[in-house]
Amino acid sequence: MKWLLAEIKKQTLTLMVAALGFVAALVWKDAISAWLAPLYMSANGAVGLTVAALVVTVVVVLITIVLAKLLGSEEKKAGA
């Protein structure tokens, strides 16, 4: 029975952290949209949004690569 309560606590914490991450993502979406508004407002509707999506995708991929290298090197140091 103890393991069940421990697992419930663990899963609840995971869900709460995910919910907070979702809220942060929504705020970031609004902030990024405000910064990119001049880019897609000057273009025609879907074309402007597509260009903005491509720009955001490239930036996110670059950030992900940098974070993976930084965090990956920390994991290698801890494992060695």
Higher pLDDT, 10 or 76: 10
Q: Where are the domains of the chain?
A: 2-79
pLDDT at 19: 94
User: What pTM, to 2 d.p., does this model score?
Assistant: 0.55
pLDDT band at 80 (very low <50, low <70, confident <90, very high): low
Among residues 31, 30, 48, 47, which one has the least CA distance to residue 39?
48
Rounded mean pLDDT of 70-80? 66
Q: What is the model's pLDDT at position 75?
A: 55
Question: How would DSSP label each residue in 11-65?
Answer: HHHHHHHHHHHHHHHHHHHHHHHHHHHHHHHSS-HHHHHHHHHHHHHHHHHHHHH
